[in-house]
Structure 1
Amino acid sequence: MLKHSPLNTLADLAQTDTDAAARELGRLQGLRTQAELQLNQLTQYRQEYRERMQAVAAQGMSSSRWQDFSRFLDALDQAIRQQGAALAKAEADLLAGRSHWQHQKRRLNSFDTLIARAEAKQEQVAARREQRANDEYAARLVRTAASRLSEA
């Protein structure tokens, strides 16, 4: 196992970056959800206000009251448009955050793959070294046995 290799250091840094990107992605998801909730609330409030306006209008209302209702509906429409733009920005930020997290995750996976390859190579070298030592030991035993036989 590669304990203190530069690859492990880089993998640790990549893990830190991936974790930070994941936290940011969660934050962005929360902002997007909040923006959508606010837009839905504004839209619902506009619908309720419009229904109230229609109920009052059915009973008869002055032109100044009609204008007040209309101005407030216009203001609500403007707020809905602004909130729609805020939601669109939150969605774009979320997509960018997701892309950044995916990039960091791929980077981390690359380091993990490189570490696994290096460990496999290190294990292979150790296995060869052990095999060589076993072969030398077996050869030494054979030579020792052969020399004892020849001396006898």
Structure 2
Amino acid sequence: MASTSQLTTLIDMAQSETDDAAKRLGAALKAVSDAEEKLNMLIGYRDEYSRKFQETQQAGITPMAYRNFQAFMDKLDSAIHGQEEVVRHSKKRGDLEKATWQAAERKRVSYSTLRDREAVKQQKVEAKRDQKAMDEHASRQAFFRR
């Protein structure tokens, strides 16, 4: 079994690894949130633009204005599709970073458990040693009282 100081070093290293993984996970989750926010903004803008166009179309619209609307809507749809890809990619990265953090945390907890077991083992050894010393002391006391 590794010594307590070696385990402490391993725990410190694992803690650092866990902290780094947590920071990367936080950044990945923020990227997902930002990407989803941008996607929702694009969808909202598309819906609003389409609604306004419907109102304008009821009053009458030129063929050129209709073509411009169609071209703009195609560009918006393309931007929305691209942003959906960004969201999917961000979520995958977030899932990977979460798995990395979980693995680092499991390692840290494992080392901590080993350290705790070693500490319990050392306490038992010390308790046994103390009990032996007490028994020897008691037997000497009894021997000299005779």
Counterpart of 2:107 in structure 1 is 107
CA apart distance, 1:55: 1.4
Per-residue CA shift, 1:45-96, capped at 9, x if unaligned? Answer: 0001111111121111111111111000000000000000000011111111
Aligned residues: 144
Q: Which residue type is aligned with residue 86 of structure 1?
A: V
Matches within 5 A, 1:1-150: 5-146=5-146
Per-residue CA shift, 1:24-48, capped at 9, x if unaligned? Answer: 1111111100000000000000001
For the aligned residues, what is the CA RMSD? 1.2
Moved over 2 A (4+): none
Normalised by the length of structure 1, the TM-score is 0.91
Unaligned runs of 5+ in 1: 147-152
Unaligned runs of 5+ in 2: none
Q: Which residue type is aligned with residue 34 of structure 1?
A: D
CA apart distance, 1:4: 5.8
Flag the structure with larger Rg: 1
Alignment partners' CA distance in 2, 1:55 and 1:145: 112
Native 8 Å contact 2:4 2:118 kept in 1: no
Aligned partner of residue 5 in structure 1, secondary structure: helix
Alignment partners' CA distance in 2, 1:16 and 1:111: 13
Normalised by the length of structure 2, the TM-score is 0.95
